Structure 1
Amino acid sequence: MSPRKQTVIITGGNSGLGYECAKEIAKFDKNNNVVIACRNAGKAKKAVDSLILETNNPNITSLELDLSSLESIRGFVHEFSQKDYPPLYALVCNAGVQFIDKTHFTKDGFEATFGVNHLGHFLLANMLLGQITHSGRIVFVSSGTHDPLKKTGMPAPVFVDPKILAYPDQTSSNEAISLIGRRRYTTSKLCNLYFTYELANRINQQTETNITVNAFDPGMMPGTGLAQSYTPFMRFVWKYVLPVLTLFIPNVNTVRQSGKALAALVTDSNHNRTTGKYFEGTKEIKSSELSYNNENRKQLWKASVELSKLNKTETILEVGL
């Protein structure tokens, strides 16, 4: 990163992976201004206060952002642009949800897993793109669960018409809602990769910038808040039993380990020209064969433009292609 003062936005930076990533970036260089984008102002303030104490970097603030609301996302971008922050260097799209108890919906009526994990970040990244510095970075937190060939214990993703992902038919399936919810999660993580690759390509083709776009698999991180809709027993296993696996099984990591790896995709100068790639921790690997389907990624882009009502005044890219 440059020795000049620069800003990094981290969605969901108030806890878990996002918090650890924010901590590493703030410690890396005291010139780094870190903005925690969080929907809960109280939790955000506590995180900011804690991060300042842990890093001795006073340049940590928060702004309210609810990724389940298109209005909130637009409001966040407007508020950020009005603040006297240093130039925006990086956007880390980390926040994510998983629901296995019932179907949840965003404030705009989209199925919440797709709406938050993909669509909210789609709109946010596009709207901030024009404010990111010439050689800035965007990182999307995906997951190895997007790959059907990996034995993650999660159901394989099923990519269909994105408008069906946004507005699923809830009457046509006899499957357990827990299975449906977990599949929605893995599919949203596949969407993160489609968006990563499509955005990287469009930036290369349509702009004169060197903004890089990459995706990150943190591995399984037992103990995080991703299991909030699980049953009490499953939450107990997730919080207290599975963390032991970090000692024995590959790509099962502590939040701190994954947070450091995620931060490196923002701070490491070795990645100055790395774009359109997928990282498992600090290692660049191939994502699933399915994730390289160009037709799917273009279909997702087109539908996402329509669903988010993204218009040509909100992004530096050509939205209609």
Structure 2
Amino acid sequence: MTSRSVVITGASAGLGLDCARAILADDPTWHLVLAVRDPARGMAAVDALGAPDRCTVLPCDLASLRSVDEFVDALTRADLPPLHALVCNAGLQVVDVSQTTADGVEMTFGVNHLGHFALVTSLLDELAAPARIVIVSSGTHDPTKFTGGMPHPLYTSAEELARPGDPDDKDGRRRYTTSKLCNMLFAYELDRRLDAGARGVTVTAFDPGLMPGSGLAREYSPVQRLLWRYAFPALRILPNVNSIAASGRRLAALVHDARYEGVTGTYYEGKRPIRSSADSYDTAKAHDLWTTSEQLVATARA
């Protein structure tokens, strides 16, 4: 019988789905809330998982802060076990053209950071201790890491990231790596504001590594998508190149495994705790990101 709930964003496919599958297989006490943009795909994921009595699908489009608020409202009204974990996994990479969310925020920043910021901060009071928050970042946030040619992140200010001065900027891959740096800044600042686990809520960040075949390549060119799907899996002999299933199991462990009880403010490359980038520890950037994110969410809700 389930006794606690976990919310997983982006759980209808890829890393989120494999994380859900691993939790279901490893720990029967968890009820899974699949926070997905498309409920039909969410229900298909439940069918694939084969445990409909342990899964709830609720719509949550991170590109719309109204949708995030509606998800929070639906979750708090649902008759589910107490909430003990949040997995901020959903993400996208807009490659060739800048797009904006329903709230007028640059799409990559809006989905990969701001939507999760609104979700987590709205649910903090709903978490039942001991609770865990896991934020999926990426090694691409760190300029010292080999990331297959991804451009280095460029954090100017959160306001500039949310509303770029050049709306025609097509450097989508840099927007992606910068959003992954934002994930790290958010994770560490959240941990500080939660008194480093003293309130019963821990925060960890996770790099799943390069995962050939994942959905991040959906906006690549046809040739790039073919390489991503069929050629890149051969790279798994290299460090931190993983199958989606392997990374899903490692992400799931951060949610439920007793080994991580009380661990907080830590960044994991797969199973290994490592230092993140120098910029990720910049408290001035973290404060700017948090303050601006609060303002953007408040404006959207006004």
Which of 231, 236, 253 is the aligned partner of 2:226? 236
Code of the aligned partner of 2:71: F
Code of the aligned partner of 2:37: R
How far has the Cα of 1:4 moved from its partner?
6.1
1:97-108 matches, within 5 Å, as 97-108=92-103
Matched residue count: 300
Which of 143, 152, 161 is the aligned partner of 1:165? 161
Q: Is the 8 A contact 1:123 1:310 kept in 2?
A: no
Q: Which residue of 2 aligns with 1:314?
A: none
Code of the aligned partner of 1:240: Y
Q: Which residue of 2 aligns with 1:285?
A: 274
Q: Is the 8 A contact 2:98 2:168 kept in 1?
A: no
Is 1:188 aligned to 2:179, yes or no? yes
Residues in 2 aligned to 1:59 and 1:138: alpha-carbon distance in whole angstroms = 20
How far has the Cα of 1:11 moved from its partner?
0.1
Partner SS, residue 135 of structure 2: strand
Q: Which residue of 2 aligns with 1:300?
A: 289
Residues in 2 aligned to 1:201 and 1:310: alpha-carbon distance in whole angstroms = 25
Partner SS, residue 68 of structure 1: coil
**Structure 1 residues 57 and 45, CA gap change in structure 2 (3 angstroms):** closer
Q: Which residue of 1 aligns with 2:205?
A: 215
**Structure 1 residues 192 and 118, CA gap change in structure 2 (3 angstroms):** same
How far has the Cα of 1:198 moved from its partner?
0.3
Gaps of 5+ in 1: 312-321
Which of 13, 29, 32 is the aligned partner of 1:31? 29
Code of the aligned partner of 1:214: T
**Structure 1 residues 237 and 244, CA gap change in structure 2 (3 angstroms):** same
Residues in 2 aligned to 1:284 and 1:133: alpha-carbon distance in whole angstroms = 26
Code of the aligned partner of 2:60: L
Q: Which residue of 2 aligns with 1:16?
A: 14
Q: Is the 8 A contact 2:131 2:202 kept in 1?
A: yes
- Give aligned-pair identity as a percent: 47
Which of 72, 75, 78 is the aligned partner of 1:80? 75
Residues in 2 aligned to 1:286 and 1:133: alpha-carbon distance in whole angstroms = 29
CA distances 1:36-80 after superposition (whole Å, capped 9, x unpaired): 10010110110011112xxx5731121000000000000000000
CA distances 1:63-117 after superposition (whole Å, capped 9, x unpaired): 0000000000000000000000000010000000001121111011100000000
Gaps of 5+ in 2: none
1:85-100 matches, within 5 Å, as 85-100=80-95
Which of 238, 242, 252 is the aligned partner of 2:241? 252
Q: Is the 8 A contact 1:73 1:120 kept in 2?
A: yes
Partner SS, residue 170 of structure 1: coil
Q: Is the 8 A contact 2:27 2:256 kept in 1?
A: no
Q: Which residue of 2 aligns with 1:118?
A: 113
Residues in 1 aligned to 2:219 and 2:167: alpha-carbon distance in whole angstroms = 21
Residues in 2 aligned to 1:244 and 1:16: alpha-carbon distance in whole angstroms = 18
Q: Is the 8 A contact 1:157 1:184 kept in 2?
A: yes
Q: Is the 8 A contact 2:2 2:54 kept in 1?
A: no
How far has the Cα of 1:268 moved from its partner?
1.1
How far has the Cα of 1:249 moved from its partner?
0.5
Partner SS, residue 91 of structure 2: coil
How far has the Cα of 1:310 moved from its partner?
8.0
Q: Which residue of 2 aligns with 1:145?
A: 140
CA distances 1:103-154 after superposition (whole Å, capped 9, x unpaired): 1110111000000000000000000111111110000000000001112111
Residues in 2 aligned to 1:286 and 1:208: alpha-carbon distance in whole angstroms = 22
Per mean C-alpha deviation after superposition, the further-off stretch among 120-129 and 21-30 is: 21-30
Q: Is the 8 A contact 2:140 2:150 kept in 1?
A: yes
Q: Is the 8 A contact 2:142 2:277 kept in 1?
A: yes
Partner SS, residue 53 of structure 2: coil
Which of 54, 63, 74 is the aligned partner of 1:68? 63
Partner SS, residue 96 of structure 1: coil
Code of the aligned partner of 1:26: L
Partner SS, residue 155 of structure 2: coil
**Structure 1 residues 34 and 172, CA gap change in structure 2 (3 angstroms):** closer
